[in-house]
Amino acid sequence: MMPHMKTMTLLACWLGCCLVTSGADYVVAVSIDGLGSTYLQTLVDAGKLPHFKHLETESAGTTNARADFDITVTLPNHTSMITSRRIKEPEGHHWTSNTDPAKGVTIHSNKGSYVPSVFDVVHDHGLRTGVWGTKSKFALFKVSYDALHGAPDETGPDNGRNKVDCFVYAKSSVLTDSVISMMTTQPCHFAFVYFGDADAAGHTHGWGSEPYNAALITMDGYLGRIMDLISTDSRLKGRTDLIVTADHGGEGKDHSDATKPIDYTIPFYVWGAGVTPGDLYTVNAGTRKEPGTGRPDYSEQNPPVRNSDVGNLALSLLGLPSIPGSAIDVKQDLKVK
């Protein structure tokens, strides 16, 4: 080995050791639009979703997690996932639109102040992030955290302001190929992956309809490919966690009534390195309360598991601190073992 190569190898090892202090090195968060727990469980029980069944068996999870209290639509709930904030009220991120952002508009310009995200914390610690989405409106995450609109990096070495290293907008089959290719060659330490197929089928044909169920079966296949990658890739194996959740459920051809259990009841699974399989409410008995069919608001001392836990939980799994200004799981006390 050439001396400088040895130095580089040592440097790479040193960086690898110092960047991650505990838990996983990589987290992949998958959100499946419109994945209501009722529909998921029915298909799992019928043996139609083998990979979700695998996930249910091996994860710390629940089918009784909650969407945001006020709003059960797509982009606002996903903005909650990446910022670990509610949507409304002063502490919220305030993104209520569900369409492509207008030119020049960001999460920050809409709120009137900077809204840090999971991408900020991962990037500012010198790690890689990526967003994959099947709907164009997810460009909101790219433009809000790009080299122009992302906050200066004041953590350790300056890694620049662009917080999202990789952004891909494609249909779900191509998207899955892209996730697998990138995670194999240049893995993102935090990858956010969004599939819109089931929601589209729900809006056209109804939640629980044959096309909706068929879309979930297709999603199960993509999930299986991602789970296979995580359990077999030499770099990812044993060092990666997968989070799977949804933005909302639905009924008929709609999901926008935030007071309906069928709209706000969603799954939340954590699978992979350092995770002990079990019910998330049992594991977190002192800090999270199983909500039954109820709709707890944000004043609950022991809140339900929510999709907005994604950001701070992912950081906790990576051994990184919580998102500045966030409120959901800000103490990072949602445990997965």
Binding site for Zn ion (CB under 5 A): 33, 74, 199, 247
SS3 119: helix
Residues 195, 134 contacting (CB under 8 angstroms): yes
In sequence order, what are the residues at sequence separation of 6 or more whose Cβ sits closer than 8 angstroms to the Cβ of residue 294? Answer: none
Q: How far is the CB of 41 from Zn ion (least distance, A)?
A: 19
Q: How far is the CB of 92 from Zn ion (least distance, A)?
A: 18
By beta-carbon proximity to Zn ion, the closer residue of 150 and 261 is 261
d(CA 147, CA 167): 13
SS3 41: helix
Residue closest to Zn ion (Cβ): 74
Q: How far is the CB of 34 from Zn ion (least distance, A)?
A: 5
By beta-carbon proximity to Zn ion, the closer residue of 92 and 202 is 202
By beta-carbon proximity to Zn ion, the closer residue of 207 and 281 is 207
Q: How far is the CB of 311 from Zn ion (least distance, A)?
A: 18
By beta-carbon proximity to Zn ion, the closer residue of 37 and 74 is 74
Q: How far is the CB of 195 from Zn ion (least distance, A)?
A: 10
d(CA 239, CA 233): 10
CB atoms within 10 A of CB 13: 10
What sign has the CA pseudo-torsion 283, 289, 295, 300?
A: negative
Q: Please name which of 63, 97, 72 lies closest in space to residue 250, comparing C-alpha atoms.
A: 72
State the DSSP code for 167.
Answer: E
Q: How far is the CB of 99 from Zn ion (least distance, A)?
A: 12
By beta-carbon proximity to Zn ion, the closer residue of 198 and 273 is 198
Residue type at 314 in one-letter notation: A
By beta-carbon proximity to Zn ion, the closer residue of 25 and 33 is 33
Residues 44, 269 contacting (CB under 8 angstroms): no
